[in-house]
Structure 1
Amino acid sequence: MEDPLKPKPVPLAAETVLWFEFLLDPHKITQHLQSKHPEPSAVELIMQFISMTPETVVPSTVVTPGSDLQNLPNSGMGANVTTSTTSASLSVPPTTQLQQRQPELGLQLTRKQLALKILELKVATWLRWDLDLLEKNLPVIMQLGLLRDLCIISYGRAVSIPLPSDFDMKISKTGNECAARFALTIYHRMQLRLQLIKDSTLKTQRPLIYQAVDQLQQFLDTPTQPSIEYLEYLCATATTRTFHVFHYDSFVTLQCDNLSSSQNYDLMHLISPQELRAQLHYELAHYYLYTKQYVLARENAAASSSNYQSLPAGVTHNFCHIRPIELEGLLQACGISAQPQTLLERFHISLLNSYADIVPILQLDNIAREIPLVSRRNVELDIEGTISTGLLKEPRQLLLQVAALNVVRSIFEWGNIFSSVEYFEKYRDLDYMTPIMDAMQNALPQCRPKERTAFKHFLIDCVLSQQLQQQQQLEQSRQLLQTLSGMCLFTAQELQDLEGQLQQTALPVLNNSLATLNDWICNSKMTLVDVASLERQLISCSSANTVRILLVKLCSKAPGKPLWAINPSWDVPQPLKSLIMAMPVSFLQDFSYVLLGKARELAMRGNYIDAVSMLSVLKSETKRQELGGNAQLMSKLITWEILHIQITQSLEEWHQKPLDLQALGTRCKQCLAALQAGDSMVPRLDIQENCAIMLLNLTDFPALLYLDKRTPQLELPFAFAATFIEMEKLKGPKKVCRDAWELIVSMFLNVPKRASATGTGNAAISSLLAFLQRLRHQSVFGLAISMLGKMHNILKDDPNHDLICEYMQLWPTSVNNPNSYSLRSVCETLQWLLSEALSYYPQTISWLKMKGDLELASGNNESAMRCYVNALVTGTDYCTMPLQRNVADDYVIRKMIRCAANLGCHMQATVLCQFLDEIDYSIVFKNLSEKSSNFTDAMDAYYSCIWDTTLLEFIVNLHAKRGEHSRKLEAISMMGTLELNANNNEEIKRESAMVRKSRFLRALAKQYLL
């Protein structure tokens, strides 16, 4: 019985013709080419004929009367079926070899060679030697093979490609002068044309053999000047010397009963000089344009256009294959096109000429709407920028006109409401409605009813949607309403209705909304109200200049309390507070205190730029003489405060890198250097800790070794830096210094309940969390995670729930008296640290798997499964790459199987068993026997993810026992797929498994990650 799954050969179509049939019946080629959709096509035939031409020439294989094609070496029908394309294209014996073998000049080809060459040239003639078509569809190697065969037949002797510089123009008795001129013209045309695609040609031909690549390189490196001179000579002598092209019947196919191999050159077409010059000038113009000889390109393009225009219309051209659209593109590229410029072209020319005539162009585009609105908006912004920088000496009226024209154009773009809002806000101090009305009146006559309706809606919004309660804007709306009455856009009833709505809008409206900031700015005769208003503005402002102005106004009101005490939230660090309080009561004291307090308040709210700006202004104030000897000290303290804020900003915006981190690290080292210099004034501890942690994140570890590790705030940065330096020295998985380990372990000691009730028990963990919150570098995160993971493994003491991560081999394997440590605190801290680290580096696979292990150890099976799936999806680049063993080894897969079984997803656990190196069928059969308790684990939904046939056979047997006939048939259909055939090779099996693995991972990702 025939196997129904065995793939069957695809039968050829009835109209398909094999290439060798044309050798047996040469007349069949014409019938084939005349069919509507020949299969193979003409270009495919050329490729077949070239690739199947035997190229080995032996003296005994030349065509002689009475020779038998079947008895010639290398001339049988199957002798060279596997001949490569490259060898069939260029490997022609040089002429000197042939002359050594045969003294007389003649054609040295076997009958099969000659027959195939005539057939390929005949098909190329059917295509009228359209080099554009051949270049697009024929590989370059075969183009050169076709060119070589054309030269061989035309000259009647062997010719090598490229032609040597001393090429002998002599033609044998089987050749023809007109044919030789045509072949030489095609040769020089291709010489120029291939220069335009030279780089891409060499890249695409790399898989070929080196000999073919060298010959192609030799052809492309041939000097082009002789080709240019020859084509220009043809153009100059076109009227005095005739030029013929091949006719389809010029090539006479070989017959089995006729041994003659001569071609019918008398049937060649005579073409007009205009047709010859049009094509040659066209290709010369392309070459000159490519080589940036623009004057010569322009001259040849104009000559090609004039000759092409003189050709009679509606006549088939045998040599000229110029397409009018491409000719027009060439003329436009040379800048001599007679076609009128489009608005988009005029628009770009205006940009090059400093926006000359930009307003009339945009006015016309409001009617034609040819220029993209995005380009128009970009021009508006460019004009605004050049005017503001002084590069464009134009009045601002030009910008207003361009912006107004863009607003009118945006009315036609439905849903675009932002440009008009920005226009009214930006130009509200100018007469902004006049240019809009002018632009509308210019475009209105050519608008359709739907567009006129859009204009009406826009104008109604302009009348009613502004802040009409102000008298000035109310007057502008009334003037606009009068202007609308002169347009034919609104009816009298609509204008009357607008007038009534305008009057109603002008009435005051009472509401219960909260007062805005401007409502508090009043000029009351009551001093207390004025002072309260100024104080409120001082508290809410964020500019140093505004603070200065408000303080001056408040000083003139003679307040009853110091100005720095207005807001109790203004807190100043202690060293600076002591210096400021030691100042005499003055404006500088209030100004310094307020700026310091507001800068700290802004920094706590995340407004780091304004905070640094205020401190920079205060630093410039320290140069005043009122400070005396404290000026330098205060400047240094303010510099440290600025550094403190910038470090906080860089930690908050780590991945954005808004600051120069290298320069920031240098300033941190300069700040910490004050600790060793023995200065009387040192940075406060918060700044010291921030600088040390910043250097740790910048991996500048040697700078931290000089710190005083006895300072509690600097113990952890010092210990981490020493650990990394010792790791670099050892360069291997050896134990390193225990300072960091002992320091971290001591923080998780159990504290008696009485001590913890006072809050002292959590002080060490709080300080650790404060340190870990400021870690940013991936290696530092990894070191901290490995220490906490190792501590968890020691305290948990359960091999089934061990955590695995980088750097774990560095730490001790035991601790003294493990019962005295808090495993719960370790788990919570590690859980938080992993979440924090993954928020900065979400694609770290080892951390994702470790977090899954930790969740599984805590009993959170679904969270653990989510972490594992995330790790697998990340490791496969979102299911686009094969799953590697370093991403999902047996350790991780078994934990995923355990999670799936605990969640009641037994079919998922079954499919996961296939991911193991060796499938554990005991786990498979146990899971399949369990009844699924999760609605997301439908058994038959995962059959398309199974590639193990043993597993499918068990499923079929299981369904048969349960009487589930439809499911059994579905499983059987999966087993019958071709890619699961047991006789497939290993590559097909791996590909099938990879596809099903990716499909299963996508299903898990949809369930656990979305």
Structure 2
Amino acid sequence: MTMDVDLLRPGTVPISPDTVLWFEFLLNPSLLHSHISKPSPDPSPTDLIIKFMTINAEQNNDVKVIENDANDLKINVMSKWTYKNLALKILSLKVAAYLKWDLELLQKKLPLQMQLTLLQDLFYIAMDIVVEIPIVPENAPNNISDRDLFTLILYHRWLLRAIVYRALNNKQPKLFVHNAVIQETNYVASTINDEIIRKLELHATNSINFLNTVLQLNDLKPKVLSLDTFQMLTENSTEIKQNWDSVHSITEDELKCQVHYDLAVFHILKAEYQTAKYHISQARDLYNKLDTSTPMLYCNINKQYLDGYCLACEVPVENKAPNLTQQLLTSIKDQYTNILQILQADNIVREIPQVYRDNLELDIQGGLVNRKIIVARDLLLQIQCLNLVRKVVENETIIGDYVSEIKAAGSKGLEVFFWAFNGVLEKSSALDKQRIVRHLLYLVLMRDIDGLANKILTDANYASLFDATELEEIKKEAFPDDLDIPNLLLNNDWGIAPVDYTQKQKIGIFELEQRLILSYNPHEIRQILMEIVRIDNSSYVKPQWRINNFWEIPIPLQSVISSIPEGFLKDYSYILLAKSKELALAKDFPGSKTLLNIVENEVQHHAQSLNEANKLLMGGNNLIFKLLKLLNWESLLIEICYYLHAWPATNICDTQAVTVQCKQCLLTLQSTDQVLPRQEIIEYCTVFLLNMSEWDYLTSLEKQWSCFEFAAALSNVAKYKGQKFPKEAWDMVLAACKSNRDLPQKRSSSNSGSSGNSISRDSLINISSTFSRLRELTVLNISISLLARLHNILRDESSLELYTTYLNMWPASIPNAKLYNMRIISEYLFQLLSQALKYYPNNVPWLRLMGDLNFVLGYYESAMKYYLEAIIVASDLFTLPVRGQIDDLVYRRMIKCCAHLQCNTQAVVLCQFLDEVDYALAFKMAGNEQKNAAPNDAMDAYYHCIWDTTILEYLINLHTKRGEHHRKQLAIKVIGLLELNSNNNEEIQREAANTRKARFLRALAKQYVY
């Protein structure tokens, strides 16, 4: 069976007669059970669920209608699902039922969002309601039907397990689907999964309470929905009908065992060990009562994991003595009690993983070095020798210089060494003894440990391990005076003619070239080039500047250097210039400029040393002058880039000197008899002068270069600051934001700057690059206000307008608004604001504008973040009033953000921040609190931040109707505290309100900002 063809057009690929297409499961429901009951079905059951859900998601179209009664919350559904959609949902649930609702398997094989969809489908089929997880009905478990109880228990178990699984496995299951479109739709970004888990975590308390309530029930007769419970739709079906009598009955112990186990694992994750200990002990007792000889219908607990969790919580496991690994971990916990006995026993049975023993050794060694632990003086050496014995008898690679440690300990080291081997010698097999002999011989013959040979010879237990030949070798080591050295080893002349080994010349040059590519040291580069010439003077057949294809320098420089005759100067200059460019791209501007200066000095020195004939060969002084001029401009470019990169640091260069150099560079454009700087340098010089507030100079320049046009237009605006309409800048940005089909295809023949809609493509590119290099506050304000005004005009929605300074200087309308690209404006504004806030992070109008832009684009959480940052700066961390900078419009947009994020209680509190409290909006938000309660909106936490008694009275009445006694009492307590202070004067009451306001804003900042 295959699922990798286009199943909507099966004729496009040859299909095997055995192939079953997905829609055949709809036509013949019996095919499903026959397929998934195979020993190794392909595709697997979980792959089938993915396939069904993928097809369903492509055509899913449902509308929810939520009605709120005063006393009860009802969720009715008007579904526009087709019968095909419903049938696919039922198929997915049938497969899940066949898998016995194994959450562990489903969590491993299904992406998190598909798990969530599967549970929502179960709610719809089993309970006839549509839910948006984690918002589910809060039904009491003692007063619901069997299928409702099963569904809610499964959901609350899944919620806790999903949190645990995400914490332990921070990866999403990969879907290997050949169809690229389907695979892209199935992929869920990690950030979305994190958001889902964050919402689930805020509802974990509800799940824990529900499951604990289930555990307290007695005489339970739980039922498990089976594959036959879910009935497929037929061609005559008019409604969904399931066979609720076709279910599996399980024991109360089996259900509670699984629930206790899931609760225990969750509490262990949260480090709540006392609660976890209770649940895991209950799970252990119930598991021991179950019949595990046959597979259970519901409980799916791995016995080894259960025992492991019991040990972690110090719960006894079937009265069994702990194994050596457990004893080792307990010993480490108890300050290494009986650690040597455990390791000696393990050297015989070899049960503890070697990595545990290595970590033990490293932990003690590190603790002694850092003086964090205090142990017996010889404990480390004893553990090292015991680990050495384990590795010897296991024939493992010995990592670590144990011999040096033994030698450093002197006679004590040798004593500990033999003590460690004595523990295994009597119980060793023949193979173990052979390995011990081999290692001892190695130590005697190769490592020269004083006294080792004598100890072996004098100890009968060790001497008996060696044969006569081996003992003879050991005696020679024990008594070196009797050693008979062959004459061959004492004579240097062995009768072999010496052989001269020479390295090929090409290999030597290749090694030097590799060093040349890697080096950025100018002195080393010089030496390498000279060495290459010394080895092979003909090496210039292939110039050294060509050995690396990635070495590139600006075209003007490349043109001048190519005119220099082949030789050292050409190679040296080209290579240093290429490496200077590499350093500049890596933001190492000082290093880049250093290389440029060395090239400049080298050219000057070389020019002075040339005679007249050579000067003529190189093109005379004109070539030298041109090269030096180009180098000077490249050095200026590095200075400007360094200054812009390090902004707002202003001490990295002499800004006045750089300003003069920029003006001189631009001045050369006015004459035609000089070498012209390249376009990039002209652009950077122009932007640098713009950031240095040289606005009069820029407006005086002739607009014969496109890069001057926009800078001059911005300078003109900055000079007058709204005193007159800046038409040029407005028209240029308008042209930049036109749709591509309206742009001109080429420059005018006059090559002159133009206004209005006939702007050149060079100017459009220059506008974008100018925005990215702006640093000066006034120019940034002007550019941001221009884009914001244009955004408002094209959006043309009064409720979604952006607000910032200098907005009024720009026109309020434009003709033919449909010709302009809204997306380009949003991108320009977002990038420019992000850049501006990078350099001026405490600018309140920009922070507010960034919040407005995110609000307009629908990024409500980001909008809240920037609004709160603006309030933090304006209020000096919530210690000062913010009137004037933060007005009612900001608070109303914050309320709308909270409503979209379903943080209704936060919206209720924010309604008090308005100059006139909007009670209608506050009551509406309070009424939505339970209906749309969001995971990130804990109502109780914000009650103490409410100071308006009218709102509190409404909440008391609302909670009375809903029967929410806890919240009712909390609201009464808060209003009582306010009434106790009603006799205070107005200033004290206002101060108390400000305190509550600051407390609430700090809580929001922790949620959205920090």
Q: TM-score, normalised by structure 2?
A: 0.48
Larger Rg: 1
Which one scores higher on RCO, CA 8 angstroms, separation ≥ 6? Answer: 2
Query: TM-score, with normalisation over the residues of structure 1?
Result: 0.48
